[in-house]
Amino acid sequence: MPASIAVVDYDMGNLHSACKGLEKVGASPKITDSIAEIERADAVVLPGVGSFDPAVQRLRSRNLVEPIQNAIASGKPFLGICLGLQVLLEASEEGKEPGLGIVSGTVRRFRPEPEITIPHMGWNELEFTQPHHTLWEQLPGNSRVYFVHSYYVDPTESGIRAATVTHGSQTVTAAIARDNLMAVQFHPEKSSSVGLQIISNFVTQVQTQFAA
C-alpha cells in the first residue's frame, strides 16, 4: 500500500495544482479538511494562495491548527507551499492575526526599490543554504523556480533556512527545513522539471519513512 498524503483543504489553496504535482511523481494525495484523515495520513501538505489573516482564520474555524501542529510534532513529513509556509510563523506584516507559531519569526513585506516589482513574480534562482537537504537532491546548482509573493518569511533561527532568493538588493528566505518540517515560498507544482524533482524528493522521503 502506498503512503498516504493529506493535502489540507481550508479554501485558500491551489489544491488541485498541488495534487497534480504529487500525482505526476506517483503519489496518491487526498484533499481533506478531516481531522481524522490528517491524523491517519503518513504525510501532510499545506498549500496556500491569498492573504495571511483569512488563511489563519479559516484554519482556526475548521479546527485544523492543532492537527497541523500535532502532525509536525509527530515526526511525519510535512510540506508547506507559499502561504502554507507563511502561516507557520508567529505573525505577519500583512495582517493582525497571530500565525500558527510553529516557526519563530515574522512574515515581512518586500521593501520598495526603484527597479523591482512587488509582488515578486516569475522565475528566480535558488541559493541553497542547506545544500545537502533531501528536497534538493538531483537538482543543479542554478535551479530556477516560480514565485508569486509580496511577503517573505523572516525566521528568528537562521539555521532553519534551506534556501534563499534575491529580488533587487534583498536576499530573503525561499525555503525552510528542520527535521520533518519543510516549506517553500515558491510554487514547485508550477516550476517545471525542477519543481517536480522537489516534489518527487518529498514523496521519496515520505515513502522511505513509511516503509521503515
Q: Where are the domains of the chain?
A: 5-211
Among 120, 149, 167, 187, the active-site one is 187
Q: What is the mean pLDDT of the chain?
A: 95
pLDDT at 128 over 90: yes
Among 82, 120, 149, 167, the active-site one is 82
Tell me if residue 187 is catalytic.
yes
Report pLDDT for 3. 83
Cell of 89: 510563523
Mean local confidence (pLDDT), 163-168 = 97
pLDDT, tens digit, for every residue of 40-65? 999 999 999 999 999 999 999 999 99
In the three-class reduction of DSSP (H, G, I as helix; E, B as strand; rest coil), residue 84 is classed as: helix
pLDDT at 145 over 80: yes
Q: Is the peptide bond before 119 cis (omega within 30 degrees of 0)?
A: yes
Among 19, 149, 167, 189, the active-site one is 189
pLDDT at 68 over 80: yes
Tell me if residue 82 is catalytic.
yes
Strands (E), 22-119: 29-32, 43-46, 78-81, 91-92, 105-109
Mean local confidence (pLDDT), 22-42 = 95
What's the one-letter identity of residue 112? P
CATH superfamily of 5-211: Class I glutamine amidotransferase (GATase) domain (3.40.50.880)
pTM: 0.97
Report pLDDT for 209. 86
Tell me if residue 189 is catalytic.
yes
- Angstrom CA distances, 94 to 51, 55, 100, 211, stand at 7, 12, 15, 41
